[in-house]
Amino acid sequence: METTNTPKSNKFKKWIRNFIIILLIGFSIFFYFRFYFVLGTGVKAGSLNYVVHKGYVFKTYEGKLIQAGFRGNPKGMGNSTIQSYEFEFSITDKSIADTLMLSGGKEVELRYKEYLGALPWRGYSKYVVYQIVNIK
């Protein structure tokens, strides 16, 4: 007994193929915008707390910047308080990481890119430092 391709089975195979192609294109677009599209860039300044090289499978450079600032009393009564903000970031360039490792505790200005999501081989943070502006 031979099986023959009927016009209906050919149409179904074409539909499945087209559906898979559209699904792959959609997933590729989603993946690009989620992990590779730069949402924004900026500069952060503060006291460099630490830079470490860590990871189980992917060894990445991670750091933390402490930014001091003033916060007013929300009810308008009393004094303002000093509050610190932490900025955790990843570094992809080894030379930048090495320079920052020698600058712990100093005031630094860092230029960074913000992504919607983090990738394991890029670092744990969605903020990726790509340039040192100033070290004081």
- Higher-confidence residue of 25 and 76: namely 25
> For residues 128 and 66, what is the distance between their CA atoms, to the nearest angstrom?
16
* Dihedral of the alpha carbons of 19, 29, 118, 112, in degrees to the nearest 10: 180
**For the chain, what is the mean pLDDT?**
87
Q: What average pLDDT does the segment 25-38 reach?
A: 94
125 has a pLDDT exceeding 80: yes
130 has a pLDDT exceeding 60: yes
